[in-house]
Amino acid sequence: MDSPRLHVPTRPPEHLDLPRPLARLADLAYNMWWTWHREARALFHRIDPELWARYMNPVRLIQLSRTAHLQFLANDVSFLEQMHAVLEQFDADMDRAGMPGEPICYVSAEYGLHECLPIYSGGLGILSGDHLKAASDMGLPLVGVGLFYRRGYFNQLIDADGYQQHNYPELDGLRMPILRVRDAEGNTLRVPVEMPGRTVYLRVWVTFVGRIPLLLLDSWSSKNSLEDHYITNMLYVRGRQMRLEQEVVLGRGAVAVMEALDIQPRLFHMNEGHSAFLAVENMRRSGEPSVPTAIEAVRSRHAFTTHTPVPAGNEVFDREAVRPFLERTAADLNTSTDDLLDLGQVEGRDGFNLTKLALNVSAVNNGVSELHGEVSRQMWPEYEIGAVTNGVHMATWLGPEMAKVLEAQPETHPQKLAERAALLSDESIWAAHNTQKHRLWRFVHVRGVRQAARHGRSPEELRRIKQTVSTTALTLGFARRFAPYKRADLLFHDPDRLRALLTDPARPVRLIMAGKAHPADRPGQEVIRNIWELASEEELRGRIILLEDYDSGIARLMVRGVDVWLNTPEWPREASGTSGMKAVANGVLHASVPDGWWAEADLPECGFTIGKAELPERERDAGILLDVLENEIVPLYYDRGPDGLPREWVGKMRNSMVAFLGRFSARRMLEDYVAKVYGAAIPSQVG
């Protein structure tokens, strides 16, 4: 099994035992193409609906399916016809001509392709996954590099008192849709990375994202000391020294694995500063005799995207902790280690700043929305920083019913979807939305019973949960990382006013929330506990739902099924905020502070804006939020005609899809990257 575009030799999946007629199921299982193609998911569902619903992982599905059942399917003409139809579409996609030229090496600390590969924590990872999917759709020559975290990011449990508990399950690569990359002798490829006083060897795994290979580096290797096994163990590990070693391994490992596979990227795209050490490694390998000449020799091969709108959000390490990692590079460049450390030095501040390093060595730098570009230029006035507003992969995030009325296929250009949305009737939009809303509430019921049972609730109390489910009430959604600046609790600033809003018998409102706080983020965890306490009050139980263990599966249900998507960050600290883009694609109305992408999308006929572009003030902003809910959102939702349809509300839904389906798609984002970043870095090679 090789990459359709780049030669990435893999070790065969000998741990899958498939009858010969079903052998090509392995091609589908190890290519994340299935995550945005409904026909492929339907095929896996047919193999064993119960196993598929439990794991949503085609490799695990095949491993756990009984041999006799697989043999039965191998002789089932109907199943084979369905499989061959999917494979015909898969092969056609893999064989389509793409853009010419050497690939771009896209390097990110996390990738959110699907919840069955939990090596992501939130928006940055989902954005990275959508970037690869859109690149595959467009035929863009690209290869991704990241890390394989054996304990991923934590699973979240919320105990009966509202405290977040952290569980790090051990991931088994042989049970996941990733394959080991092999070397020339057929063994698992291991690439060496120089570290202070030793060499760390990184095993290489790959998953294919359509036509794009994603290489995942793993320090759990018998060639390493036991201590070094744990470098790639956890995403965003708390210990600063371990985090430093992890990011050195990511950056240097990206360069090393390109060399090992004889891939010669025309450009390294650093997605956030976590991967900035790759630039230092390219400088070391340049053969230049000094820091200035080395930078000029490699600058045209580097592009940098910053996602950080505040100085405190940049990755900064102690200079003396970084020093040992730069000594060999300094020697090779005939310079002092201090000269290299100065590349990450911010005037007037302590520490080695990876954003500063990346800005110093890149030909093109960009933020992820127009406003974020402005903020970044104010933060870093000595650099040219442009903007490419983020987008989302529509085939992944569109719900099945909304996709059906839009006649959406994975290959449909998002702008064509916007044109079709303009022609939809009120009835078809409302019916599609309500079916997706019912699906969300069914999940809320099941998850709510499970959570309550774990907390020791009685069967009678569990039965009572079903009575709180309301598919007709106005449903608000809020789901994202529970960092304090995102202000998940802004709506709770005036509890009495919120109670009155939620308990109005004539115009009921429900609030569904989800999100994790980093294990080291005590204030964020306190926000979760405070929300839990209020949601547990007898009067509000079932009116505020806090779902635990937020992942991309819950995200898909929520952005498709709520009526309003809330976004309340401290202005201007939201770099982009792609969750709202996923919601508006499904006709969900956005209610947001004019920050991130909403600052350039703010159209009164498409959603609701909370306040103005001004520095945050909690009491004022909380009052404005409740004003918008009480005076605009709730009345509009419940303004129904004789037929029961909220026609003006549905009109806003249609307007939103027409305005935003094309404009905030990952397809448009990649087209902008080709024009503004990839082409600007090497204009002679990218058209």
Domain ranges of the chain: 20-95, 104-391, 396-663
Q: What separation in angstroms does the CA of 195 have from each of 200, 201, 228, 250, 361?
A: 7, 10, 10, 12, 21
Report the mean per-residue pLDDT for the chain.
95
Task: Answer yes or no: same fold for 104-391 and 396-663.
Answer: yes
Give me the residue label for tokens 């990511």. Answer: 250
Question: What are the tens digits of pLDDT across the range 200-255?
Answer: 999 999 999 999 999 999 999 999 999 999 999 999 999 999 999 999 999 999 99
Question: What are the tens digits of pLDDT across the range 143-197?
Answer: 999 999 999 999 999 999 999 999 999 999 999 999 999 999 999 999 999 999 9
Q: Is 306 left (phi over 0), alpha (psi -120 to 50) or beta?
A: beta
Closest Cα to residue 317, out of 381, 220, 239, 428?
Answer: 239
pTM of the model: 0.97
Could you give the CA distance from residue 628 to residue 598 in angstroms, rounded to a whole number?
16
CATH 3.40.50.12640 holds for 104-391: no
Band (434; pLDDT cuts 50, 70, 90) = very high
Write down the pLDDT at residue 684.
53
Query: 311 pLDDT exceeds 80?
Result: no
Closest Cα to residue 204, out of 217, 221, 186?
Answer: 217
DSSP assignment of 154-220 equals: -EEEE-TTS-EEEE-PPP-GGGTT-EEBB-TTSSBPEEEEEETTEEEEEEEEEEEETTEEEEEEE--
Could you give the CA distance from residue 200 to residue 252 in angstroms, rounded to a whole number?
11
Identify the bridge partners of residue 213 per DSSP, sorted by sequence position: 208
Question: What are the tens digits of pLDDT across the range 501-548?
Answer: 999 999 999 999 999 999 999 999 999 999 999 999 999 999 999 999
Q: Name the CATH code of domain 396-663 (choices 3.50.50.60, 3.40.50.2000, 3.30.1490.20, 3.40.50.1110).
A: 3.40.50.2000
H or E element in which residue 95 lies: helix 77-95
Query: 199 pLDDT exceeds 50?
Result: yes
Neighbours of 635 (CB within 10 A): 11
Q: Would you say 144 and 106 are in contact if contact means Cβ atoms under 8 Å apart?
A: yes
Residue 24 DSSP symbol: T
Give me the residue label for tokens 């019912």. Answer: 438
Identify the bridge partners of residue 167 per DSSP, sorted by sequence position: 155
Closest Cα to residue 637, out of 478, 509, 544, 542?
Answer: 509
User: Judging by DSSP bridges, how do beta strands 509-514 and 474-479 pair with one another?
Assistant: parallel
Question: What are the tens digits of pLDDT across the range 17-65?
Answer: 999 999 999 999 999 999 999 999 999 999 999 999 999 999 999 999 9
Prior bond of 100 cis (ω within 30°): no
Write down the pLDDT at residue 399.
98
User: Could you tell me where the DSSP H helices lie in 348-413?
Assistant: 354-361, 370-379, 394-397, 400-405
Query: 3 pLDDT exceeds 80?
Result: no
CA 162 centroid distance within chain: 26
Identify the bridge partners of residue 566 per DSSP, sorted by sequence position: 591
Using a pLDDT cut of 90, give the percent of the chain over it.
Answer: 93
| Backbone dihedral angles phi then psi of residue 330, each to the nearest 5 degrees | -60, -45
> Tokens at residue 658, please?
């027409």
Give me the residue label for tokens 């952290």. Answer: 166
Could you give the CA distance from residue 76 to residue 245 in angstroms, rounded to a whole number?
52
CA 322 centroid distance within chain: 29
Number of H-type helices and E-type strands within the chain = 30, 20
Give the mean pLDDT of 354-383.
Answer: 97
Q: Given CA atoms 29, 34, 38, 40 in this order, what sign does their dihedral have? A: negative
| Backbone dihedral angles phi then psi of residue 476, each to the nearest 5 degrees | -95, 145
Write down the pLDDT at residue 204.
98
Could you give the CA distance from residue 468 to residue 543 in angstroms, rounded to a whole number?
7
Q: Would you say 201 and 191 are in contact if contact means Cβ atoms under 8 Å apart?
A: yes
Write down the pLDDT at residue 468.
85
Query: 687 pLDDT exceeds 60?
Result: no
H or E element in which residue 225 lies: none
